Amino acid sequence: MLIKAETLPVRTNDDVVHVRRATRNWSVELGFSLVDVTKMVTAASELARNTVIYGGGGTVRFEKVEEGHRRALRLIFEDQGPGIPDIGQALKDGFTTGNGLGLGLSGAKRLVNDFDIWSEPGRGTRVSIGRWK
């Protein structure tokens, strides 16, 4: 069940900093350990940077979710950029279309409990991540 939600813009490098700060605040509010906070902040930072650099900017939606006695923080990054033609290839360590190390998507996936990606060339990309407490 969705308990709380907030959407922020992700268009500039300053927005990436705001996303990291908001992710830290939401994670602490949910009672995550320092390790889990760090994992969520790192994953959010990678995805926010991808949204700006490759997606041309977009949004991130923060959601506090509860299922029974479990709570989660879910972040949904969306853009209307060029999309990802081959998601499987994009998730491979070392694959990049830019100047990075090619660890953004695959690294973010390893840092969270839930990871879902949708992309269509010419329509954009949506990446959802979640961490449970």
Q: Residue ranges per domain, the chain?
A: 2-132
Nearest to 113 by CA among 72, 81, 67: 72
Q: Mean pLDDT over residues 44-71, rounded?
A: 95
95 has a pLDDT exceeding 70: no
The whole-number pLDDT of residue 107 equals 87
As a whole-number percent, the residues of the chain with pLDDT over 90 amount to 81
**pTM for the predicted model, two decimal places:** 0.91
Query: Rg of the chain over CA atoms, in angstroms?
Result: 14
Which of 2 and 45 is assigned the larger pLDDT? 45
Burial label, 37 (beta-carbon count in 10 A; 0-12, 13-18, 19+): buried
101 has a pLDDT exceeding 50: no
Nearest to 63 by CA among 91, 79, 40: 40
Which fold would CATH assign to domain 2-132?
Heat Shock Protein 90 (3.30.565)
Residue keyed to tokens 């060339």: 121
